[in-house]
Each structure stands twice: as structure tokens, then as C-alpha cells.
Amino acid sequence: MNIRQIKAETVTATVKKLFMDCNYYIGKDIMEALTTACEKESSPVGKSVLSQIIENDKIAASEQIPLCQDTGMAILFVEYGDKVVIEDGSFNDAVNEGVRQAYADGYLRKSVVSDPVFDRVNTKDNTPAIIHTTIVSGDKIKITAGGKGFGSENMSAIKMLTPSYGIEGVKQFILDTVRNAGPNPCPPIVVGVGIGGTFERAAQLAKKATFRPINTHNEDVRYAELEDEMLEEINKMGFGPAGLGGNTTAIGVNVETSPTHIAGMPVAVNICCHAARHASAEI
């Protein structure tokens, strides 16, 4: 395979469009799940909340305005083909320029501060983006991008479970994390679970899991069953839409796994609000 040259501006334009699109248009999977939940919800308040969320998401799409004011930190999962060369600049700079343009031209909120503890000064362009890059073979770049709000991000947790905890330990940690989050992360939520790898890999997998459509399952039937069981258990908690009571606390649980160490079984639970925003493109 020959080396393929891609212009930095092509990367920038693609990233810009992805962040604007994901903030205006909720995914079909989420809209379908919200609609089904609204039909099934037994709490009158919960039903009303769900119908307002659906109406909100329709307004955002038709007027091309952000569906939530927290347009998030910009996160990208990139599969970068090893035959690709960026013609006139660096890939990371091109990505950040795309984020900068999307958040300025798309009327998205700038929510990033430069220093986490002392200065906390807004960078005013929502950069830097969080870029997770995997080198793959090929001559294409595949980008999945999403804006992540922190109302739900703050409710996430990771635990270094050890092998003897087994599947029951995994389940308990998932449910404990969701229970502790309670009404705060804008339910109905999408729960991303990363199991295995190392400390940081588990967290990354959990985030990746929230980017997977909620109408899909893990390919391993055992984890697919775990997804279904956890969704059912979470919806027995009663928090309901907006945490005001009801049967719809979550609309999806996605699990991603990785090989891990003989001594370990890390589990990360990344909670996402009902505005689970992501979009993909291939260059």
C-alpha cells in the first residue's frame, strides 16, 4: 500500500463538522430509546420529563442549536492508518483547530480551563481536545468524536477489583456507582463499563463504551447478558427521568473489555447523561 497524503485542513474540517453535528443532532439510537421509554414510563412526572427531553432534542436539531448548554470537553477516538501522512501540519494541531472552529462557529459553550487546581482560567476555545489515537494498518483515518458534559462525568468511578471478586463484584461496583450518582447525572443515563486492562485502559474503555450505539451488544454473549441484566437492575432503582422518580433511570449499558494482568480486574464505570453525543467519519 502506498503512502497517502491527507491535508491538515481536511482533518480540521472533518473534526469541526463532527462536533457541530453531535451537539445539534442526538443519535437515532438515543431518540428511539427515549421514545420507547416515554411510552413505558409509569411515573406521570417521568413521562412528562421524557417528552420534554424528546421535544428539546427535536428543537435542537431543527434549529441547529446545542441540545444541552454543556457542549462538553471534546473527546476523539481515532484509528489512524499507518500509511497516512499529514501533508502540511500535525494531526493533533489539525484536530484542535477543528475543535476551536466548531466551538466558535457553532455557538458551542467553551468549558475548558487551563489549569485544574490553581488558575482555572477558561481557554476560551474549548481546547485542548482529549485525543485517543490507535495506529492501525491502512491508509485511512477513522474518527469518532463526542462532547462530554461533566454533570455525568463527575459521577463516574473506577475500582481496582481483584480476580476473586468475580462477576458479582463487577455487578456490585456498577450498581453502587449508579446508585451513588442518583438523580445528579441527568437520567436517563447511558452507562459505559470498561473491564480489564490497566488502570487507564479500563477508564478509556468505559468512555469508548459510552460512544457505542445503545442498540448494539457486546459480541461476547456473557457480556451482552451483563449489559441487559445491569440495565434491568438500574431501572429498578426508581430514580427515573431527571431523578424525580420512575422506571427509566438508564436507557443503555455498554460493556467493553480488555485482557488484563493475572492479579487484576479493573472496572471503570463512565456515566453519560441522556444527551449521549457522538458522531463518526472516515477520511
Residue 220 beta carbon to another protein: minimum distance, rounded to whole angstroms: 28
Exposed e or buried b for every residue in 198-211, given b needs 16+ CB within 10 A? eeebbbbbbbbbbb
3-state secondary structure of 160: strand
Helix axes 8-24, 91-105, angle to 10 degrees: 40
Which triple of cell numbers denotes residue 82? 499507518
Q: 10 or 48: whose CB is closer to another protein? A: 48
Which triple of cell numbers denotes residue 120? 482555572
Q: 128 or 183: whose CB is closer to another protein? A: 183
Which triple of cell numbers denotes residue 117? 487546581
Q: 183 or 264: whose CB is closer to another protein? A: 183
Phi, psi of 133 (to 5 degrees): -110, 130
Residue 254 beta carbon to another protein: minimum distance, rounded to whole angstroms: 19
Element (H, E) at 146: strand 141-148
Q: 25 or 165: whose CB is closer to another protein? A: 25
Residue 192 beta carbon to another protein: minimum distance, rounded to whole angstroms: 17
Cell 447511558 appears where?
A: 190
Residue 57 beta carbon to another protein: minimum distance, rounded to whole angstroms: 8
Cα separation, 191 vs 189, whole angstroms: 6
Residue 131 beta carbon to another protein: minimum distance, rounded to whole angstroms: 23
Sites of contact with another protein (CB under 8 A)? 42-43, 45-46, 49, 52-53, 55-57, 59-60, 63-71, 107-111, 120, 122, 124, 151, 154, 182-184, 186, 236-240, 242-247, 273-275
